[in-house]
Structure 1
Amino acid sequence: MERHYGMDWLRIGAFGLLILYHIGMVFVPWGFQVKTAHPLAWVEIPMFLTNPWRLTLLFVVSGYASRALLAKAGSAGAFLRSRSTRLLIPLLFGVAVIVPPQAWIELTTQHGYARGYLDFLAHDYFRFRFLDGIALPTYNHLWFVAYLWVYSVGLAIGVAIVGGARLQALFDPVFGGWRALVIPAAYIVLLETVLFHQVEDTHDFVGDGVAHLRYVPAFLFGFAMARSPIVMAAFARHWRTSGAVALACFATIAALLLAWPDFTFPDSPAVLWTYRVARHLETWTAIAALIGIAERLLNHDHRWRSTLAEATFPFYIVHQTIIVLVEGALLPLHVGPLVEFAILVVTTVACCWIFYVAGVRIGWLRPLIGLKGSALRSNPSQGSSGAARMLSVR
């Protein structure tokens, strides 16, 4: 496959927005591992710029990347072995090392847990039980990695049995042209507003059926889209229309939240249906607009692209733990929300970058954070563009 730089930038941007979204989770009244002392209901409004589509987009771009990885691997078996190494090792490392501080902060700040962190690790975290309603050990934000691995297993089996060409032959006639925008949007609205009214995913793989009905098709759509020029052309042609619909949906949600903050909606079918349709129609129209922008405007390289593309997964692995630890340290200081937010953004990005650089330079750490084996070291005189090329895992 020819490399699509626009989809690289879309993947980088999607994970970057996810980090910003998780910082926002500190300030909204919704549940999270750590909360500011004074949650702000109005923060819900900007959060809905990405809330409806952020996770579905991640599975679309992951499916797209899986097509390139399958082509590079050469067979379904080699693809599955590569995916297992790159996903399961970081997942296990994350559950054992990265995630425990999140659970400890949540217990100490929200449940009155009194033990120190080392005692928590030694006596409670690995007992495989619930502690005050929290399952331990846990994967928290790394649920995405677990789901992605399972979907990759299913994809490898499907390709081995049916064949990628046959699957592609079914995809192009169905989703060619305007149907690439309308059919997925109609499916999501039907699924989420008519068939089911699940507010949030459970992140319990066995009990998360509605999420699978959303994410598996998104993953497979991205996989097939990677070899479908007519679908990519449709997104590029209609990105302005898709974006306008998505913004109209967001404006509708914002108006509802201004009228009834923190979802204190009246017992009115009209209000509830308006909210549900706007939220779930925004999902695919926003994704369609972003793919169209990636195809039409962003499909060009830059000297930082390969480095940022490589850093995305290590950033994802560690970012939420950094957010939770930093906010846990800020709580006793009683700083204002603006200062709190600024500190969280700066320290999260800085610590994620340090984590990534350490992973690049320490050979044994690389597979633990989802990077390929040892990288060639660049000559310092080559500058940042040379380093980016030498450190790229692609």
Structure 2
Amino acid sequence: MKPAPSQRHYGMDWLRIGAFVLLIFYHVGYSFTAWGYQTPTRGVVWWAEIPLLGLSAWRLALLFAISGYASAALLARDKGDTVAFGWSRIKRLGIPLVFGLVVVVPPQPYMGLVNSGYEHGYGYYFLHDAFSFQKIRYEYVPRVMHLWFVMHLLAYTLALCALLLVLPRPVRAALRRACEWLLAGPGLLPLGIIAVFLVRSKVPYGWTDMHNLLEDRAAHLHYGGMFLFGYLLRGSEPVRRAIARQWKIAAVLALAGFFWVARDSWLYPGNIRTPEEWRFALVVAKSIESWSAVIALFGIADRFWNRDHRWRATLSEAVFPVYIAHQTIMVLVMYPIRDWGLTALPEFAILCGSVAVGSWLFYLVGREIGPLRPLIGLKRHKGKPRSVIAPNPNGASQGA
């Protein structure tokens, strides 16, 4: 890998930006599948789930791994002060989380209630029902919705801080050496794939990814493990070199895993359950796709994207605010356009465009108003906000 551990890796910034852009397309596309969504569009596009399956196995694992990498960079910037790092992450993630749960998220379940015959206006809903902790018609409120990611990320960050405070430095160094010994050689790909497979298939009560902080047992092992892997990668030259050597093989494996998953979706589309005799092969394919795609994308980011651009700092800063706003904007646009009689393609284009423009405006307005900046995940600036294309002098990724 090109940069020394003390330097900023621009490729990780671009990878993070790209991952969140794909997330928007994923959430919009999800509405055209038979998997179910709170506000479905005019109908199901039978093939829409196939490209989404090219993302679903690895997209969240990648985001948590990037977040772990960024956390290691931020901790290094704080000169290893775990308490200062933890407090900064509580403010940077916790304040937007509370703001999002109170202000940004409530319109989403409200629109679902309106769709099922709820007769009250939004003001009544917000004051009387939004935070009542009960089931109203078909919606349980309050809801976390897409901000589950921020909640999980904050929990993993605080767990990391606890480990750093509890484990003596020699123990941490020994654990790092052991992980490097396992992953810095030919074991990088097979061991990672086996670990993902075991989490997906052998954890008691099965694979759980309900986006529930208290119930996601297997998902915590997967996403928390990817977070720790990203943390390890930031300071491990041997693991970085191993990725540089093996990312092409990982890319081929990821494509092979996706082709098997796509084949399964073609034969058993929508909510048709895969026959039991093919379940093992499907889990293997998803495990291969999940780990291999992350390794391949890390290698690609280092090989081709590790260079700065005048828009990188702005886009990197915008990612978190855009994420906070995107799903609520999507839900608010979905309802009126369902009655326009559009076909799937223009509806998809309108949703993507609306989410992109609305989320970007959310960021632009919020960054220019000082008191709003912490609420949408931005640092509070003492002076005039920086230019839209000004470079970022900090040595670590911003946002989540």
Conserved in 2, the CA contact under 8 Å of 1:185 and 1:284?
yes
Conserved in 2, the CA contact under 8 Å of 1:193 and 1:277?
no
The equivalent of 1:230 in structure 2 is 238
Q: 2:49 aligns with which of 41, 44, 48?
A: 44
Q: 2:83 aligns with which of 77, 89, 97?
A: 77
- How far is 1:177 from its partner? 2.1
Is 1:333 the counterpart of 2:354? The answer is: no
The equivalent of 1:103 in structure 2 is 109
Q: Name which of structure 1's ranges 216-225 and 159-168 shifts more when overlaid on structure 2.
A: 159-168
Q: 1:306 aligns with which of 302, 306, 313?
A: 313
CA deviations over 1:201-231 (Å, ceiling 9, x no partner): 1112111111111111111111011001111
Q: 2:355 aligns with which of 348, 359, 363?
A: 348
Q: Name which of structure 1's ranges 282-291 and 36-45 shifts more when overlaid on structure 2.
A: 36-45
Is 1:136 the counterpart of 2:144? The answer is: no
CA, structure 1 residues 375+233, in 2 after alignment: closer, same or farther (shift >3 Å)?
farther
CA deviations over 1:106-153 (Å, ceiling 9, x no partner): 2222x3322222221122102122223533112110011111111111
Aligned-residue Cα RMSD (Å) equals 2.1
Write the letter of the residue equivalent to 2:48: V
- How far is 1:242 from its partner? 0.7
- How far is 1:17 from its partner? 1.0
Which structure 1 segments of 5+ residues have no match? none
The equivalent of 1:119 in structure 2 is 124
CA deviations over 1:220-267 (Å, ceiling 9, x no partner): 111011001111121121111111111111111112222222142463
Structure 1 runs of 4+ with >6 Å offset: 390-393
CA, structure 1 residues 353+66, in 2 after alignment: closer, same or farther (shift >3 Å)?
same
- Structure 1 distance, partners of 2:207, 2:341, is 32
Conserved in 2, the CA contact under 8 Å of 1:181 and 1:235?
no
Normalized per residue, which structure has more helix?
Answer: 1
Conserved in 2, the CA contact under 8 Å of 1:91 and 1:146?
yes
The equivalent of 1:59 in structure 2 is 64
Correspondence 1:174-193 to 2 at 5 A = 174-193=182-201
Conserved in 2, the CA contact under 8 Å of 1:372 and 1:393?
no
Aligned length: 388
- Structure 1 distance, partners of 2:386, 2:55, is 40
- Structure 2 distance, partners of 1:377, 1:280, is 47
- How far is 1:55 from its partner? 0.7
Q: Name which of structure 1's ranges 95-104 and 277-286 shifts more when overlaid on structure 2.
A: 277-286
Query: Normalised by the size of structure 2, how large is the TM-score?
Result: 0.92
- Structure 1 distance, partners of 2:386, 2:43, is 49
Conserved in 1, the CA contact under 8 Å of 2:97 and 2:147?
yes
- How far is 1:376 from its partner? 4.2
- Structure 2 distance, partners of 1:281, 1:197, is 22
The equivalent of 2:209 in structure 1 is 201
Structure possessing the higher relative contact order (Cα contacts under 8 Å, 6 or more residues apart) = 2
The equivalent of 2:34 in structure 1 is 29
The equivalent of 2:253 in structure 1 is 245
SS of the equivalent of 1:42 reads coil
- How far is 1:94 from its partner? 0.4
- Structure 2 distance, partners of 1:12, 1:375, is 26
- Structure 2 distance, partners of 1:195, 1:55, is 19
Write the letter of the residue equivalent to 2:11: G
The equivalent of 2:389 in structure 1 is 385
The equivalent of 1:151 in structure 2 is 156
Write the letter of the residue equivalent to 1:64: Y
The equivalent of 2:221 in structure 1 is 213
Is 1:171 the counterpart of 2:179? The answer is: yes
The equivalent of 1:91 in structure 2 is 97
- Structure 2 distance, partners of 1:237, 1:294, is 13
Percent sequence identity over matched residues?
A: 40
- Structure 2 distance, partners of 1:389, 1:29, is 43
Which structure 2 segments of 5+ residues have no match? 1-5
